[in-house]
Amino acid sequence: MVDLEKAPGARQQAGQGEPVRRSDAEGCLAVAIRIPVRIVVLVLVVPVRMVWDALVVAGRFLRDTVLRPVGRALAWLGRAVFVWPLVGLWRYVLVPLAKGVGWLGHVLLVVPAAWLYRWVLTPVGYALAWFFTRVGVVLAAIGRGLYAGLAWLGRYLAVVPAVWLYRWVLAPVGHALAWCGRQVARGVGLVVTGVGFVLYWTVRVLLVLPALAVWRWVLAPVGRFLAVVGREVADALGHAWRIAGHLSLVVGRFLGTLLRWTVAEPARWAYRSVLTPVGHAVRDTVLRPLAEAGRGAGRAARQALATARLTARQARADVRRMLFGEPAERKPVDRREPSAVEARTLGSSTTALTKD
């Protein structure tokens, strides 16, 4: 439906006169330059945006695959080369050395200094304070007397004549000079006011009014025109950047899909349909038999080595028996406790042996 009433903004502009014409002119100018500017800016911005997106993708790939691992390796190397040696030096060298130096300084300096302060400097200070206190009392009394005499002499030799000179000579002369200065300043002020009035109107007529006319009729229209052009160019740049972003996204998705269907999918199909069955066949027909044969050879070698060790051990035992004879049989030691009868028999045998 058509709105037959004017909008509030239109009614307000209709009641303002000249601003309506100016806004209409700006609207026509904006409509006239908007489409060409946006077309030109879109043509210029699309390659830049696509290059920018490609650089962003390459930068992210480089960051994730190269820079981040290298940074972590450098951080670990820095800790290993700088931080850990410095921490060990601080913890195991400097801190014990500082504690030793502090204890030595306390023993060699602080304790003697405290003893010297307590038993030498403090009594000497008290004695000097008492002496200077008494001397200060005497000097203060002498100073008060000298101050009273000098104050009396200064009052009657300097202050009283100076007051008389100020009251009867300097004050009248100063009042006369001040009145003369005020009159001279009033005359100079009138002259300066007249000269300033003349210079004001001269500068206003020769400089201000022409500058105001140039600003109102030349610079302001040119500035509004440039503002409209700049605003439209900025809007065109924003629209072109967003459109270029969508185009770059579409191109990126197309390239990704193309790469997927031309490289990734054939490679995955080849891996799944060709390489995996071939690998399983090679594993089942070649690698597993070889592994079983290797494990059987290992078991046979271990059994042969065990038989050889057992044979060598038996040969050493035969040589030892031929050279040194059969070893004496070890009698088992009865570790159980003797009964009461055996204890009495053993006690009687021990008593008989002691008597004999």
Instruction: Quote the pLDDT of residue 30.
Output: 66
Mean pLDDT, rounded, for 34-45: 76
Over the stretch 197-236, which tens digit does the pLDDT of each residue have? Answer: 999 999 988 999 899 999 999 999 899 888 888 888 888 8
**pLDDT of 13 strictly over 50:** no
The Cα angle at residue 128 between residues 126 and 133, in degrees rounded to 5: 95
CA distance 322 to 271: 71
Q: What average pLDDT does the segment 47-55 reach? A: 86
Q: In Å, how far are 198, 254, 272, 290 from 284, measured between CA atoms?
A: 115, 42, 17, 10
Average pLDDT on 260-280 reads 90
pLDDT over 80 at 330, yes or no? no
What's the pLDDT at 319? 78
Put simply, whether the predicted model's pTM sits higher than 0.85 gets the answer no
Average pLDDT, the chain: 81
